A and B are shown apart, each in its own frame.
Chain A
């Protein structure tokens, strides 16, 4: 009779990395559905392309690094990266945009840094920033929500647009973005709510004037508010499933609300309030899905709070005073950079090493 030898503990919670990542992916479903509903088939096509690219890139990298590709592919981290990037880019962006972005995320940001667990930056956001800087036109060509344009782009047209940037009838993406405002102009190129505010403010309009635009039909922009709320719901599922800790999302949202509240109190004409900040752009997906990426986030609870506040501050500052309308990606990447130092200074005090306690011990270290 032979025995199985193992080191303790012999009991395990058995919730593996793949399980966690799968739950993250599932929790994104409400948000994805909302995006699909408001922005059409593009998002679904982007997801398919992104996931395929991610798995291909992951397999190639694992092969090249002589790692077990089956085990590597099963951990679902590539899936989450692909999903995050796919929902972040304009739904009708050309197909090669997402392919380049995902390939960059997986190959450069993840594997060149040493693979899962070693990457300094959030792969999806690093990929996003690379795309944003490299292809600014394609990356800002967001469609207005369906209920504003009224024209529902079919699946076929979406594919056509993604492949050739023209519909089968020859309309360009720019034309697809036209919204009949019925007011000053016949039609304007519609942007995201945050884009809209930014360009209006730069043209000398006040905030309240800008908010008159048709896209601000609801609380914080048609479509976008629901997408954000959907991601909030997904985030709550993650919290409930204990996949993420509350510290990062709560600190981001609370800090962002505080900054936005203060800002709009000081300068109501130029700084949007907390409704816009919380429910527009990528705030919710950023707070619950992007900033909580365990690999690139701070690790102690205190560190997570600081990390969250830092992200919120960066989001607010860049949105209000920077050159880009939204800022989650930049904020997360900059905060990623600060993680080592945050971790260093938020190292928890080990049991028995507290202040004044080592003196009874005859001097600990």
Chain B
């Protein structure tokens, strides 16, 4: 570990040499910086932090969404009806460092379907529904007795396999964060928990300080960071005491007490408080030599490595005056909010609010059967008058109170005007993307404008527009490519026709020269590659019959290209019937005159169609035979309107599947025939 003097690349860019040294000295001396803005909403933490973290009875049913982190979900590993054990992976790790999910307890997979999600919209997402058996029997765990004997890569893989994601709220995969490249200066453990009401980290630090510290040690081992700063707001004296005790005598660990101010627990704000450094606008904390993890995450890493336990449960604060037994609880991931509220003695009332998360950044739940996931930290059920809902939105008076409290030094009122105007360029100019949606602006707004809501909608609009733009870009490319392809094929076809005509002339000449006995039974066409004239004649006759029959069957006055049935009877029958119905409908629509035979066609037609089908089948068989012999499909005499004319691909190999980018020859043919 020779990184004492190793200066991370990013830090160098951020500070010039002397400044960096001074900055490090200041940090070492315990200097605290302040971030602009911030508010002091009522903390209300005493509601839930009085009692130890409880354990709830295992709910009867768990809803485990396949994706509970930022990233992609993995493939399913289990099937409906399967018996699973606690800790058994239910999905494989997703692509691009996506995390697996595990069975939080033993039971049977009841279903795998879309279930309302722990999201403001509660839109359904793929979810594994697990009927628990109450046994809570573990699958085989793989603890790592001494993590020091393992390389960072091994431990990262282990943590990823355990499905550990950031428990602070966002749910970023911890393993991915830990595998950041380059030497970093500081590992910051975020125990600030600045949002009112929430006490999950507070209780966890009080009760499991030693575990958290061991988790920190493991993360230090992985990342090679020597300096660890544990940040706790000064409104949690017990947690500060517990963590200080656990850190005493541990080199490199320091507990830093920061003043209580919302949102000091925001990643960027906390970095600013502790280091005076600012994460670049579109950068990451590692760009300035900092890695931040939540206390809960540190504890989860500890459980994952030392005990081999995947992330199956987390501490959730159940709080609010509508609960008769508020407190914290170890909730299995996938536990329905209903069950948690019942455990805490929820007294519902009409038009109640149940908030997932805190009062500042949480979202209201439209229904209670949504599960808690890795990033959920609080369920807040306020009493009717506890958190007054925002009043009527009034006109902005440009008082600037929002700008005064914005921790990102944005101009919220300007963003508000721009968002109302849908001025996306303006929003970009005013750095909407840097808004952390902390809600401080809307909290102080005297006109009670739901500012954050405007920003969220604007952000979603901008994202949507970006996606649409990308899609339009791709669509355009594909359209151009297709046009180019059609043009190319046209030329190729012309060249081929010229060649074919040449060959035909030659063949004719040969035939005449040979003075064959039968003078041209086949009047339709001369196919250069034809080997067995008899088969071809038979096929042609069959086709002709089939066509006639089909035309007869088609009662519509306009001659319709008929389906030459190719495959299973019933399917074709259905298809033809549908097609007729469609044509009939169209004809009826387009021509005012009634078509007498349209309506009652069904039975009659079906008989005719059946005859046609039988004949066509014969034809098809003949053709199949022929096709098998003619490696070069051709038969340019087929009526073009027959759908199976595609079979007559002139080009060499009929590709089984056409990829859009590289179109198959059969499609070339089709395109050019039109």
Residues of A within 8 A of B (CB): 1-17, 19-20, 71, 75, 77, 115-118, 245, 294-297, 299-301, 304, 347-354, 356-362, 364-365
- Give Cα A243–Cα B429 distance, bound, in whole angstroms: 30
Q: Give chain A nearest CB distance to B515 CB in angstroms.
A: 81
Shortest Cβ distance from residue B325 to the other chain A in the assembled complex, whole angstroms = 20
Q: With A347-B411, A360-B288 in contact, is A300–B400 under 8 Å at CB?
A: yes
- Besides A3-B351, A7-B120, A116-B395, 13 more A-B contacts (Cβ < 8 Å) are A1-B352, A3-B365, A5-B366, A8-B442, A10-B355, A10-B382, A12-B443, A16-B447, A77-B397, A297-B398, A348-B409, A350-B431, A359-B13
Q: How many residues of B contact A (CB 8 A)?
A: 79
The answer to whether the Cβ of B516 comes within 8 Å of any Cβ in the partner chain is no
Secondary structure class of chain B's binding surface, majority of residues: loop
> Any chain A CB within 8 A of the CB of B141?
no
What distance in Å separates the Cβ of A243 from its nearest Cβ neighbour in chain B?
9
Assembly CA distance A347 to B357 (angstroms): 32
In the complex the two chains form, what is the Cα distance from A296 to B400 in whole Å? 11
Q: Chain B 623-634, CB within 8 Å of chain A: the 1/0 string?
A: 000000000000
Which residue of chain B has the shortest Cβ distance to A363 in the bound complex? B282
Cα A361 to Cα B303 with chains together (Å): 35
Chain A residues within an 8 Å CB radius of B282: 352, 361-362, 364
State which of B42, B268, B366, B446 has its C-beta within 8 Å of the C-beta of A351: B268
**Selected interface stretch from B53-61, B88-96, B204-212, B386-394:** B386-394
Bound CA–CA A20/B355 (angstroms): 30
Say whether A9 contacts B439, CB under 8 Å: yes
**What is the interface of chain A mostly: helix, strand, loop, or mixed?**
loop
Is the pair A348, B403 in contact by a Cβ cutoff of 8 Å? yes
A13 lies within 8 A of B283 (CB)? no
- Interface check B566, CB cutoff 8 A: no
CA distance A12 to B394 in the complex (A): 14
> Counting CB contacts under 8 A, is B399 at the interface?
yes
Please, which residue of chain A has its CB at the minimum distance from the CB of B389?
A: A6
CA distance A149 to B541 in the complex (A): 128
Cβ contact of B363, chosen from A8, A13, A16, A295, cutoff 8 A: A8
Contact in complex: B428, A352 (CB < 8 Å): no
Q: Beta-carbon contacts of B266-305 to A below 8 Å, as 1s and 0s?
A: 0010001000001111110001100000000000000000
**In-complex Cβ contact of B281 among A1, A12, A361 (8 A):** A361
Residues of A within 8 A of B388 (CB): 12, 14
Contact of B443 among A3, A7, A9, A362 (CB under 8 A): A9
Known contacts A16-B394, A350-B410; A6/B280 CB under 8 A: no
- Give the segment of B449-457, B555-563, B606-614 that binds chain A: B449-457
Do the beta carbons of A7 and B456 come within 8 Å of each other?
yes
B14 within 8 A of A: yes
B665 within 8 A of A: no
Q: A4–B353 contact, CB under 8 A?
A: yes
Check if B434 is an interface residue, CB within 8 A of chain A.
Answer: yes
Contacts of A4 in B (CB 8 A): 351-353, 364, 389
**B422 on the A face (CB < 8 A):** no
Per-residue A-contact encoding for B34-50, CB less than 8 Å = 1, 0 else:
01100101100000000
**In the bound complex, what is the Cα–Cα distance between A63 and B348 (angstroms)?**
42
Please, could you name 25 A-B residue pairs with CB atoms under 8 Å apart, sorted by A? A3-B353, A4-B353, A6-B450, A8-B363, A8-B452, A10-B382, A11-B41, A11-B387, A12-B390, A14-B388, A15-B446, A16-B394, A17-B399, A304-B400, A347-B430, A348-B36, A348-B410, A351-B272, A351-B278, A351-B279, A352-B268, A352-B280, A359-B13, A361-B280, A362-B283
In whole angstroms, what is the CA distance A356 to B13 when docked?
8
Is B447 a contact of A6 with CB atoms below 8 Å? no
Q: Is the CB of A10 within 8 A of B387?
A: yes
